[in-house]
Amino acid sequence: MALLKDQAAIITGAGTGIGAATAARFVEEGASIVIVGRRREKLEATAAGIGQPERIAIVAGDVREQEVAEAAVAAAVDRFGRLDVLVNNAASFIPTGFPDPDFEAWRRMLDIILIGCFRFSREASRAMIAKNTAGRVVNVTSIHGTQAEPLASSYGAAKAAVNQFTRCMAVELAPHDIRANAVAPGFVDTPMSVYEGVHELETEHFRKTYVEGRRIPLARAGQPEEIAAAILFLASDESSYVNGQVLTVDGGLTCTF
Catalytic residue annotation: 155
Closest CA to 59 of 51, 67, 29, 135: 67
Closest CA to 73 of 142, 138, 12: 12
What phi, psi does 69 have (nearest 5°)? -60, -45
Contact 51, 75 (CB under 8 A): no
Residue type, 41: E
Contact 234, 243 (CB under 8 A): no
Q: Round to whole Å and give the CA distance between 129 and 132.
A: 5
Q: Round to whole Å and give the CA distance between 8 and 153.
A: 35
Q: Round to whole Å and give the CA distance between 25 and 148.
A: 31
Contact 86, 133 (CB under 8 A): no
Q: Which residues pair with 179 in a beta bridge?
A: 136
